[in-house]
Amino acid sequence: MKIYSNIQEFTAVNNAVITIGTFDGVHCGHKVIVEQLKKAAHQIGGETVVLTFFPHPRMIVFPDDNDLKLLNTIEERTLLLKKAGIDHLIIHPFSKKFSRLSALDFVRDILVNKINAKKIIIGYDHRFGKNRAGDFEDLKDFGETYDFEVEEIPAQDVQQINISSTKIRTSLLSGEINAANQFLGYNYFLSGKVVEGEKIGRKIGFPTANIFVDNKYKLIPKNGVYAVKVEVKGITYNGMLNIGNRPTLNGKNQTIEVNIFDFDEFIYGEHITIYFVERIRNEHHFEELNQLKNQLTLDKVNSIQILA
């Protein structure tokens, strides 16, 4: 996959089949569009092009909205689209100036003159141009003028529940990991740097790696204990993870701590990736550390059974 950091870097290809969107999560609904994109490109001997944006448009249009949480960092989104088999990925910087492009200017100047789109495939609810004024019917009209085809993918359901990035975010914030993973088509994951903690876990036989996630927009699932897979230096291990304020230790700030099974290496400063498999329980306050140790023993047994 060729990656372009803006539209200006892109050189038009023959028979470009393009889709446009933020693709946060690159979930099962997005993959339906991607598969149709690949099929259409194959039919006309063309190449697939995904036009996405970073920063996320909401970061620019609503700069004071600190509640925005995303399923993917731009690096994660790029990796997922590469795995999906896209030929060209354009990550265009979204700006206020760009947001003011009219629907006509966007289609004529970018999709036609710059990308030379032969066919455009979009999701059922796609909007574009200033104030999101353009829609599927507008694209069809522009297609007649500028000689490109347009195809709209209808709403895709998973067990009769419409898939959207918003629904996945809601599932994760509610601790419904199984539902989120089903919508995504993969286990939700996050990456971070291993930093030093208070080493309390080591004292009770459950040493943990404390994870610092430096992307403030990355969504952190609901507090609690999770069975997880942990990727360290390219090797995947089983583990259990706690997200929360550590009430037994009178913690005040949210921490992310993972106990990696059958692992004893020095990894401070390393970046590791956590894959969420299943949520085990809520975070609890225990009167004594020994009670916490007993609960962690049960959590480990449950995690091993789940991850097996």
| CATH of residue 144 | 3.40.50.620
Question: Could you tell me what percent of the chain has a pLDDT over 90?
Answer: 72
Mean pLDDT of 133-160: 83
| In-domain check, residue 167 | no
Same domain (yes/no): 36, 125: yes
Mean pLDDT of 266-292: 91
Structurally, how many domains does the chain consist of?
2
| In-domain check, residue 250 | yes
Q: Calculate the dihedral angle through the C-alpha atoms of 243, 28, 90, 96, rounding to the nearest 10 degrees.
A: -70
Same domain (yes/no): 195, 57: no
Residue 247: pLDDT over 80: no
Number of H helices, E strands in the chain: 10, 14
How far, in Å, CA of 222 to CA of 175, rounded? 5
Strand partners, 118: none
Q: Give the HSE-up count for residue 64: Cα atoms under 13 Å, Cβ half-sphere.
A: 0
On whether the pTM is more than 0.85, the answer is yes
| In-domain check, residue 61 | yes
Same domain (yes/no): 130, 224: no
| In-domain check, residue 178 | no
Q: State residue 159's pLDDT score.
A: 46
Q: State residue 155's pLDDT score.
A: 67
| CATH of residue 289 | 2.40.30.30
Q: State residue 67's pLDDT score.
A: 83
Q: Do the Cβ atoms of 18 and 50 come closer than 8 Å?
A: yes
| In-domain check, residue 267 | yes
* Model confidence pLDDT, tens digit, residues 97-131: 998 999 999 999 999 999 999 999 998 788 898 88
Same domain (yes/no): 128, 201: no
Mean pLDDT of 227-240: 97
Same domain (yes/no): 154, 195: no
Same domain (yes/no): 205, 126: no
User: Domain containing 146: what range?
Assistant: 2-162
Q: State residue 60's pLDDT score.
A: 86
Q: How confident is the model at residue 289 (pLDDT cuts 50, 70, 90)?
A: confident
| In-domain check, residue 34 | yes
Q: State residue 161's pLDDT score.
A: 53
Indicate the SS3 state at residue 225. Answer: strand
| In-domain check, residue 120 | yes
Q: State residue 252's pLDDT score.
A: 65
Same domain (yes/no): 239, 148: no
Same domain (yes/no): 106, 245: no
How far, in Å, CA of 134 to CA of 136, rounded? 7
Indicate the SS3 state at residue 15. Answer: coil
